[in-house]
Structure formats: structure tokens, C-alpha cells
Amino acid sequence: MQITSSNEAVSIADDIAQGLSTISSVDVFIAPSFTELYSVSKAIEDTLLKLAGQNMYFHDKGAFTGQISVLSLKNLCQYVILGHSEPRRIFGETDDIIRQKLLKALEKGLKPVLCLGETAKEREEGNTKAVLHEQLAGSLKGLETGQMKEIVLAYEPVWAINNKFLNPDTEIRPASTVEANEAHTIIRDWLKNEFGTTTAEEISIIYGGSMNAQNAKELLSLEQIDGGLIGGASLSAEKFLPIIRIAAQLSEKQSVDYKWESNTLRFDE
């Protein structure tokens, strides 16, 4: 509910798609509001930019007022975000509901982006590992190894999300490289135990939680982090494209050379 105008959503998407036209080494999707998906899908046809739904329901169709069918998404989107901390923590989605949604997305050919993460209190109490294990076990229960290869996991610490309804009394900050690497390692090790080393290493685990152009290089340089789930910094091409460019240069094992001038990221060509 950040961008509520179709014209604005299309303009941002078009700018991102144009900036992406010379970058092919990373996969990029955006997740506009449901009401803007069709307009944005038309604007980015024949570009490298992909689309994601922000959520979906686990029935194909029926009397489920207010819900979004996977059948409505599959002709527009390639990805769908599931288990985001806001549906989990504000609207009460359980791991089992998320699991059913994930299975339905896989059945219909959408690539799920499964979000996981602990609150500030859970981290302070030393329960980060237990919370991540619980969410992984509940959300991925019954999935087969072949299905796991079609899933992206996103570590998204609740305390790093700038949302007063999630964090009314918590200082919002991105995870440090130590904190992010630790959490990603916990997730990767759990996957190894459940699905084997090969599968665990093939799965993309991305970081979400106040990633921006200032901290993208240090976070994306970590071996365990395969990408970013970008929030506020994705609301304009000016903020989002530098992150994409940093990711691309790292993926191509190029040196990432840039400097800040007038609060703008300038890359050395």
C-alpha cells in the first residue's frame, strides 16, 4: 500500500525495466499492488523485469471474498511472495496456511518467495534459531526435494522492517553482516539436514530488511546471501537500480567501484 496510483506504478516499473535493459546477470522482480499488476505487466512486456504477487490464497476459486486466486496471478506473474512478516504478524497467517499457499503456487507454476524472520524480542531472548526452524518446518512440511529447487527463501528480520505496526517500540535498523550471515547459515544448515547438501546449496536465500544502496555491497558480498528482498528502496528507480547494479557486478565477480556524490551513487565506468 505504498504506491496506490496506476500511473505512478507504471512509471516506476518502466524506469526500472529501462535501467535493467543492459543487466542480464541477475533476476529482478517487482511486486506492485494487486490493482496495478495488469497495467504494470503491459508496461514491462518484452523486458527483463518480472512480476510478483504480494500474496495469494490456497484455493483456485470460490466464495473467499477479499482473497486473491493463484489463477488470477499466474497469467501476469512469475513469482509470489508468501509468509511476509506483515501477513504473519499483523493478520495472523500461520505456518500451515503459508504451507498450503506455497504448495498451490508450485502446483500452478508460480515461484514462491517464502519469508522467514524473528521479532526483536525473540532475538533478544536468544530464540532466533528456534523461530527460524519452526517457520521452516511448518511452512515446508511435506515438500519434496524437487519442489524445493523452485522456491526462494527470504530471511526478513521483523525488527529490520520500517513498520510501526510491527515494531512500535523497536529501533529499526538493518541486520549487521554478522547477524545476517548467522541467520542465513541457520537456514542453510536446516535445509542441508532436511533436503541434503546439494539441494541446500542450490536454493537462493535472499535478505530482506532495510537493504539499500548504502549497505547492499556488504550484505550481498556475504557468501550465504544470494540477493535482496527490497522494501522502501524499491519505490523509485533512482534508489532501486543502484542495488541491482551492485548485485550484478558482484554476481559477475567484478569489482564494485562507486562513490557518493550529492547523496547519489556514482559508478566508476
Helix 128-139 vs helix 177-195: crossing angle, to nearest 10: 40
Q: What is the DSSP string of 97-109?
A: HHHHHHHHHHHTT
Residues 234, 240 contacting (CB under 8 angstroms): yes
CB within 8 Å of 158: residues ≥ 6 apart: 85, 89, 117, 118, 119, 120, 166, 167
Rounded Cα distance, 68 and 53, in Å: 9
State the residue for C-alpha cell 542450490.
202
Catalytic residue among 84, 86, 93, 179: 84
Other beta carbons within 10 Å of 66: 5
Residue 167 is given by DSSP the state -
Q: Three cell numbers at 59?
A: 484455493
Q: Within its chain, how far is the Cα of 235 from the centroid?
A: 14
Residues 258, 267 contacting (CB under 8 angstroms): yes
Catalytic residue among 36, 118, 156, 179: 156
CB within 8 Å of 225: residues ≥ 6 apart: 180, 181, 184, 205, 206, 207, 219
Is position 261 annotated as part of the catalytic site? no
Q: Between the CA of residue 25 and those of 2, 200, 236, what are the distances in Å?
A: 28, 21, 21
Residues 114, 154 contacting (CB under 8 angstroms): yes
Is position 144 annotated as part of the catalytic site? no
Question: Which residues carry out catalysis?
Answer: 84, 156
